[in-house]
Amino acid sequence: MKGWQTTVNNKTLGVLRIFLGIMFMMTGAMKIWMPTLREAFSGQLIQANLPLHDFNMWFVPLVEILIGILLLVGWHSRVASAIVIGIMIVATYTHLVVSDPSLFPLQPHLPIGPIMFLLISAYILWKGGGSWSWDLNTTSDA
C-alpha cells in the first residue's frame, strides 16, 4: 500500500488537498446537523432516484467527514481522492437529473462544485498528498 502514499513536496498540491478536506468535512457535517441541508440532501436522493435512501442519509455524510479528515491530514490521500471521485460522479449525475433548484441551497444547480472537486481529486490521485501530508512523511524519497 506504500505506493499509494508516495507523493512530492508540492505546496499547491498540499493546499488543494487541504481545501478539499475542509470542504468534505463541512459538507458532510452540514448534511447531518443542518436541517435545511439535510432536507435538501434527502430531496436530491429521492428526485435522482438513488437507492437506499435511509442508509445514504447517514452513510454519505459520515463518509464525507471521514474522507475530509483523511485529506486534511494527508493520510492515504490517493485512496481518499479515489473515493471522492466516486462520490463526485454520483453528485454530478444528481445535479444533472434533479430539476428542482431549491434542492441545491448553497450551490448552483449546474454541477460546477462536483466537477471542480472531481478535477482536484484526479490531480491528487495522480500526484499524491503533496506538502504537509502524512503521506509525504512516509515517502522515502521525499
pLDDT one digit per residue (tens) for the chain, 142 residues: 567 888 989 999 999 999 999 999 999 999 999 999 999 999 999 999 999 999 999 999 999 999 999 999 999 999 999 999 999 999 999 999 999 999 999 888 899 999 999 999 999 999 999 999 999 988 755 4
142 assigned to some structural domain: no
36 assigned to some structural domain: yes
63 assigned to some structural domain: yes
Cα gap 41→14, rounded to integer Å? 29
Closest Cα to residue 96, out of 135, 49, 39? 49
124 assigned to some structural domain: yes
| List of E strands, the chain | none
Q: Model's pTM, two decimal places?
A: 0.92
Cα gap 135→142, rounded to integer Å? 10
pLDDT score recorded for residue 137: 84
